[in-house]
Amino acid sequence: MRNRILVAALASAMALGGTMLIAQAQDQQASPQQSERGHGRRQFDPQQRVNILAKRLNLNDDQKGKLQGIFADSQQQMQGVRQDSSLSRQDKMAKMKSLRSQTEDKINGILNDDQKQKYAQMKEQAQERMQERHGGDQSTNDKQ
């Protein structure tokens, strides 16, 4: 009797574990961008980024099209840096920081003054949320 209960419990545990693995695999297939970068950070595709900014900044169609190109180009360049095995970790970080700066300059180049102000506030709020999550001062890392 005791063996039957043990076998039933073991079978239930295995079935539950298999179900959890299947669900996890489906989640990873449904959102590969989120798991791609790791560290629990989300990475939106260019269209998602445009949609977010369009909603928050009231972008016109011309601005949306330009942003789509900027974000697609930036994503491609960042991926190239990540995959470049000839670069050290420090060199990759420096290159990605430079690419982010160039992308920010391009974004600001297509926004009007009101949108630039809102965009700067959005970035500042995002920085504050990141600092709260990590419990540290990230601004010192940006200055290095």
- Residue 71 above 60 pLDDT? yes
pLDDT in tens, 9-49: 555 545 544 434 344 444 444 444 443 444 445 567 899 99
137 or 121, which is more confident? 121
Specify the 3-state DSSP secondary structure of 54: helix
pLDDT in tens, 74-96: 999 999 999 999 999 999 999 99
Q: CA separation (Å) from 90 to 17, 21, 75, 84, 127?
A: 40, 36, 19, 12, 22
Cα end-to-end span (Å), the chain: 67
Residue 8's pLDDT band (cuts 50, 70, 90) = low
pTM (predicted TM-score): 0.63
pLDDT in tens, 133-142: 887 554 444 4
pLDDT in tens, 44-65: 789 999 999 999 999 999 999 9
Residue given tokens 């391009």 in the structure block: 106
What is the model's pLDDT at position 14?
55
Phi, psi angles (nearest 5°) of residue 104: -60, -40
